[in-house]
Structure 1
C-alpha cells in the first residue's frame, strides 16, 4: 500500500514539475505580434543614423546586432526564410527571379498552393479565427505567402502610404499577427550607396515610421499585450548586396514590448529564419517539423540562454586602415607619381595593433603600429589587434597601388549601352560607344552615369591590355562583380563570373611564364548598382587587386 502511495506521489510530483517547466518555457499574455520589416536595414544604419525610436526599443527591449541572413544575401530568399522558418534548401526560393510558375527547386514540403508552409498559414490552421494581415511596399513580398491564410493583403507604392494603411489596420482590426514591409531604405542603398548620407536619411525616415506604428499600437489599446519585432532581409556594401560579407549578410533583430527583457543583448546565434519560429513560440503555436528555425527564447522574461550555448572565441574590434573603404572602393587607394601615407586606428580597448606590408597575416610577432608610415611602391597592408587577454580581432586589409605616369600603364576600355543584360552579351553584335584608358579593372560610377541612357542602367564594358608577370608559376585570378564578369588571359577564359547577381566572387587558375600576357575583362550590368574588382595571387604575391603598375596598354 505504501509503495502505491509513494508511486502516486511521485507521479503527482512529476506532473507538477512538468507543468511548472512548461509554464516557465512560454511567455504569457502576448496576444498580438507586430513585425516591422525594413528591406536593406543594416546594423550600421541603426547605429549611425538618427533613430530615436529604434534606440529606445533597443534600450527598453532586447537586441541581436549580428543576425545572420541566408545566402545569397538578397531579398526574396531572405523574406521567404523569415516567414517560412527555413532556408532556401528547404523552401526552394533561391534567388530574386523565383516565381510560383518558374523555379527549379521544389520545396521539401508544400501546401495546396505549392508554397512551403509560412507563419501565416501555420497560425491560420492553428487559430482559424485569428486576424492576420500584411501590408507591403515591395510587390515581390506578396508572391511569397499563401493568400488564403491572411485576412488582409495590401501593397502600396510608397513607404508613407504603406505605414498609414498598416497603422489604420492595427487600429481597426487589432491583428493577432500584423506584418509590414518597407522598401525605401534598400532603394537608398542602391542609389546613394550604403553608408551614404542618402542611406542614413532613409533609415531615419524608417525610424519615424516605426515611431508612428508604435503610436498606432498604443492608440489601438493593445500596447500591453503586443510583441513588436524589427527585422531586415540583408544589409549592403557599396551600391548593392548579395555577397557573403558581414556588411551584406548581417542584420539587427530588435524585440520590444510584452514580456521582453529590457536592455538585453542576445547571446545565442540567431538567423533570419528564426523569426517565424519566435512568432510561433510567442503565440503558442506549434511549428512544423520541416522548419529549421528556433525561437529566440532568451528575449523573454524568465527564460535563459540555451544550456548548450557555445560562443566560441570572441573577437575584439578590428582596426581601421586609412584611407578606409568607401562604398565599393577598397581601403588604400591608387596613387600616381606620389607616395602613400598609411594610418591605422586601433578600435579595441587595451589592445595593440600589429601589421604587415607583404600581405601576410599579422601575428604576435608582427610590427606594432605606433605612427603613420609611408610606402613608396605597391603594397598590401594587413593589420590586426591583440589585447592583454590573448583575444584577437579579424584582420583588415588595404591595397595601396602606386604607378608612375608616362610608363605605358593602363587598359583600353570600351563602353556598350545595353538593355536587360542578364548575361554577358555578344560584343560583336553591339555598337561600341565611348572609349577611354582605365588605370585598373574598375568602374567609375560618376563617369558611367554621365554616359548611360536615361532610366537604363544596363550596359557592358570591355577592358583590354597586358599584364606583367614577374615570376613564372601558377596564378590564381578572381573577379568580384555586380553583375557579370569574365576574365581572359592569353585569349583563354580563366574566370567565369557571369550572370545577373549581387556582388559575387569567382576564381580560376592558370600557369603563366614571366613576361607580358594579353589580359581582358568583360563586364555587364543588368540594372541598379554595379561593381567590378579583379584580383590575382601568385608566387611570392599575396592575393591583391591587380595593381595598376602591372597593367599596360601595349
Structure 2
C-alpha cells in the first residue's frame, strides 16, 4: 500500500504564475533533420518534460485525490479519451509514445519483445535496429541538446537508442525515480526529459482498478508529479517548459490488455509554456501523437515513417483541424446497479430471492430507456423511472438519450437467479502451479482441491487463500452440464487472464490459451435441445486473474452462462 503524499499548493501556485509564454529563442539547424519555421510552432518552448504513469486511467484521475493533476488540467489542456494501441499492454504503448507510430510500424507487438528476439522487424530502422524515436531524431537535429530518461520499469530502457540520450537511469522505486529525475532537471535543465512511474500499474494488478489501493497509488503519483513541477520551478525554467502527462493504458478488474474503453483509453494533459488554459481538446488523439507533439513544439520535422500527428489545438494560436469530424454526440452512459466491481460484471448472482434493478442516469437532462428481453433499448423502449424487481435470470440493457435524441453507449447487467435444491452448479478443481505459460495436462495434475461452484468464475480471496507461498500461478477446471432449451447454433466465449479453453459435449469450442491480459475468444457449435457436458479449463501465470464465460443462441441474448442452466450432473 502506498502512502498518500501531496505537494504544497504554494509550489504549484508559483509554477502557475511562472509558466508564461516567452518570445521564441533562436534555434540553429545542426543536422540533416529539418526544422520548422518559427511561425509554424508555438513560441517560447525550450524544454519538454514528459511524465509517464504506467496504468493511470482517466477514472483514477477523476476519483483519486490529485491536486497537482487537477491544477494542470484547470490551467492547461486535456484530452480525456486518448486512444492507446492494441493490445492495451505496456511495451507496445510506451514504444508507440516515443516512436510516433504503432506496432505495425515499429514492430514491438507485446511485452515479450527483445532486440534479439522478435518476429516483426520495424519498417524503418536506425543503426541499432530500433525504429526512430523522439530521442534519436531530436539528437540528430540538435546534437548539443540535453536528453534524459529516468524510469521505474526497467523494460522502458530497452525501447530507445542509448546513443541518443545523455542521461539514462533506472530505479527500483517510484520515490527514488522521482528524486533522481528532479535532481536531473535542476542540474541539467534538459531539452527533453522523460520520467516513467510504474507503481500505479502494480496497484491495478494487485488491488484492482477502481480499488482503494489503486486510487491511493494515483494520489501517490500526483504527489510525485508535484515534486517534478517544483523541480522545474527550482531549476528556473518553468516559463519555458512544456509539461506533458501521459499513460500507456488503463485497466479493468485486475489487469489490462483487452479492447475496452477502460483499458484502451488514457488521459493526456499538456501544461505550461504556450498551452491554452482550461481547454478540452476536440481532435482525436492517439498514444503515438505524443512523439509528434514533442517534435512539433521543438521545431523538428518528424520522420515520414511516423504516423502520429501533433496535438496543435492544445497551444495558443492554433485551432482545431478544419476537417475535424466528431461524428454523432455520445452522452454519458447510465449505470445499472449492482454496478460492475473489479472483475465482477454488473448484476449478480441471486439465490432463492428476487433481484432489484436500479439505474442511475448520468447524462444531464437525459432520459434512460431499458429492456429486459435481450433487445437493445431505443427511444420506444420503456423509460426507467424507479427500481424494479426481476424474478428470473434476466439481461438488463439500458441506454440514455439526450434532448436531441443522441444516444449513450449501451450498459448491460447480468442478473442470474437460481433456486437451491435443484442440482445446479459445476464441480470446480483447483491446482497449485508454478510459472505456467499454457494450460497444463489436467490428467497429470494431483492434489487438487474441489468444491461445487454455482457458476463459472472465481472468488479472489478464496483463490488467494489456496495459492502456494511465493507464487500466483495456478490452474482450475470446471465441469458440469448445461441445459439447452432450443435447437440451433450456439456461440460460446471466454474472457480470461491468462489462458482458458471451453468444451461442450467433449468438443473444444473456444481456445483462449496462452499468457495474456483479459481477452475474449469465441467459438460456435450446433446443439439440439437437451443437457450436455460442459468443461472450462483455466490457468493463471501470475498477477491478476479473471474468467468469465458467455453464451448466446436461438432466443438467448449474449450473457454470462447463467447458474440456473448449469447442473452438477
TM range (shorter): over 0.9
Matches within 5 A, 1:1-40: 23-40=38-55
Report the equivalent of 1:158.
173
1:457-487 deviation per Cα after TM superposition (whole angstroms, max 9, x unaligned): 1111000000000001000000000000000
SS in 1 for 2:448: coil
Residue 379 (str. 1) matches residue 372 (str. 2): no
Report the equivalent of 2:314.
299
Report the equivalent of 1:289.
304
SS in 2 for 1:81: helix
Report the equivalent of 2:217.
202
SS in 2 for 1:240: coil
TM-score by length of 1: 0.96
Partners of 1:150 and 1:359 lie apart in 2 by 56
Deviation of residue 430 (structure 1)? 2.1
Counting matched residue pairs gives 534
Deviation of residue 431 (structure 1)? 2.0
User: Which one of 415, 424, 432 corresponds to residue 417 of structure 1?
Assistant: 432
CA contact (8 A) 1:268 1:306 kept: yes
Partners of 1:30 and 1:196 lie apart in 2 by 38
CA contact (8 A) 1:61 1:264 kept: yes
Matches within 5 A, 1:5-404: 23-404=38-419
Deviation of residue 25 (structure 1)? 3.0
SS in 2 for 1:367: coil
Using the TM superposition, name which of 424-433 and 271-280 deviates more: 424-433
Partners of 1:104 and 1:234 lie apart in 2 by 23
Partners of 2:498 and 2:375 lie apart in 1 by 30
Deviation of residue 433 (structure 1)? 1.7
User: Which one of 450, 468, 474 corresponds to residue 435 of structure 1?
Assistant: 450
CA contact (8 A) 2:331 2:407 kept: yes
SS in 1 for 2:322: coil
Report the equivalent of 2:522.
507
Partners of 1:376 and 1:432 lie apart in 2 by 40
Partners of 2:355 and 2:206 lie apart in 1 by 31
Unaligned runs of 5+ in 2: 1-35
Deviation of residue 93 (structure 1)? 0.5
SS in 2 for 1:303: coil
1:265-288 deviation per Cα after TM superposition (whole angstroms, max 9, x unaligned): 000000000000000001001110
CA contact (8 A) 1:414 1:432 kept: no
SS in 2 for 1:198: helix
SS in 2 for 1:423: coil
TM-score by length of 2: 0.93
Deviation of residue 432 (structure 1)? 3.6
Partners of 1:428 and 1:541 lie apart in 2 by 34
Report the equivalent of 1:544.
559
1:360-412 deviation per Cα after TM superposition (whole angstroms, max 9, x unaligned): 10011100111100000000000001122121111100000000111101111
Partners of 1:328 and 1:36 lie apart in 2 by 29
Partners of 2:121 and 2:397 lie apart in 1 by 44
Matches within 5 A, 1:475-554: 475-554=490-569
1:415-455 deviation per Cα after TM superposition (whole angstroms, max 9, x unaligned): 11111111111112222421111111101111100000122
Unaligned runs of 5+ in 1: 1-20
1:13-40 deviation per Cα after TM superposition (whole angstroms, max 9, x unaligned): xxxxxxxx95543101211000000000
CA contact (8 A) 1:25 1:303 kept: no
SS in 2 for 1:67: strand
User: Which one of 475, 484, 493 corresponds to residue 460 of structure 1?
Assistant: 475
